[in-house]
Amino acid sequence: MTVRVRFAPSPTGRLHVGNARTALLNYLFARKEGGEFVLRIDDTDRERSTKEYEDGIVQDLAWLGLAHDAFLRQSERFHIYAQAIEELKARGLLYPCYETAQELELKRKVQLGRGQPPVYDRAALKLTDAQKQEFAARNTSPHWRFLLPHESIAWRDLVHGEVAIHTQTLSDPVLLRADGQPLYTLPSICDDIGLGISHVIRGEDHLTNTAVQIALFRALGAEPPHFAHFPLLTGAGGENLSKRFGSLSVESLRREGLEPMALNSLLARLGTSDPVEPRQRLEELAAGFDLTHIGRASVKFDPQDLRLMNARILHGLPYTGAEARLKAIGVGGGAPFWEMARANLTLFSEAAEWWRVAAGPVAPVIAESDADFVAEAESLLPAADFSDSTWGAWTKAVTARTGRKGRDLFLPLRLALTGLDHGPEMKSLLVFIGPERAHARLRGERA
């Protein structure tokens, strides 16, 4: 089997982390199986779809590194859907209905009041030709429903295992609105057939819909693809994630300065039996990806976990992966500086701050009670070029002269040399500060 999957967002908003997870799982499965990843823009909703959102989706996926092998827009394929509609009508599988939204709602309330499931009663099938002509005379356009076969539809879900749903418990779905606009299901099935989609990997909110879609695949003479329905992400408090959660949009995370592989590494393993570990490349994630490792329990997404993962990604990022980006933000020092600074980063942009600490200017912080001590230490600091051994030899000499040890020794020197009470190891940082700046800062000068 040639594996082909699709990610099919609607361009009615930017991607959030839940969308990104769907795209990522499809991408990893395709790459693991040597298959293809298709990006399909589901823009049949002409009222809400915009080119701006489409471009944003493409940008978000590119930032994540999820390159597609094929691309299409549903708005360019209406002629294909029209052919399927006419075929289903001709076979009596798509029938006209004239109930208004208010009438349908009243039916549902009556059914619920009687303790019955709110399933459409197929009253439209009982309309006579004369009655249909009356609606036409009043310029009342019908919506069109797909006539489901009343049978048990079973499939083996790659996450949920064996699933069976009897379609008698479901309403015949509306495939065509009264204004002639096809709804999601029909275009999606037509495209899955036309593209040869082998696996549909999506959230479990579509699990019940699958029975309807399998029936439609078969009605159109196609073998249904394999399905995998994974649990949806929820927020840290258990709330559903949606496009309304702007702070969890991929765009906002990118602007925050987070690494794409931090998001990929976290989303690829959340809800699975595999450990959540930082990975620098998508190929590494794909190599260990397995749909059967996805559990069925709900999955919480905590932004704090993402920020912790971001730090882990940076701590393991080799200089070759950072070099161009460091130059772009004016950070020098080459590989030695990066290897020193990266362990102190939570965001890549913070490397510029540590370079400023090294290269200046820095306003030293010297408490009045430490002034004499710092001056004494400055007199013992060598004036020659520094090496990794300079800090240890110097502080040993300062201890011998002043008797200071531990925090009382190290903190005043760090504050004077960097203006901060934290940071990389001083034995490494002192080398980049250099003799001239170090002596000036110990004298209380901005350097």
Residue-level pLDDT at 45: 87
pLDDT per residue over 118-172, tens digit each? 999 999 999 999 999 999 999 999 999 999 999 999 999 999 999 999 999 999 9
Whether residue 237 has pLDDT greater than 80: no
Angle at which helices 334-341 and 350-359 pack, to 10 degrees?
120
pLDDT tier at 246 (50, 70, 90 boundaries)?
Answer: low
Residue-level pLDDT at 295: 94
Query: Alpha-carbon distance 251 to 15, whole Å?
Result: 8
Residue-level pLDDT at 239: 72
Residue-level pLDDT at 244: 47
Query: Alpha-carbon distance 366 to 414, whole Å?
Result: 10
Hey, CA dihedral for 117, 127, 189, 216, is it positive or negative?
positive
Spacing of C-alpha 185 from chain mean position: 24
Residue 221 near residue 276, CB atoms below 8 Å: no
Q: Which 3 state secondary structure label does DSSP give 180?
A: coil
Q: Could you tell me which of 392, 398, 443 has the C-alpha nearest to residue 417?
A: 443
Query: Alpha-carbon distance 249 to 254, whole Å?
Result: 9
Q: Which residues contact 244 (CB under 8 A, 6 or more apart)?
A: none
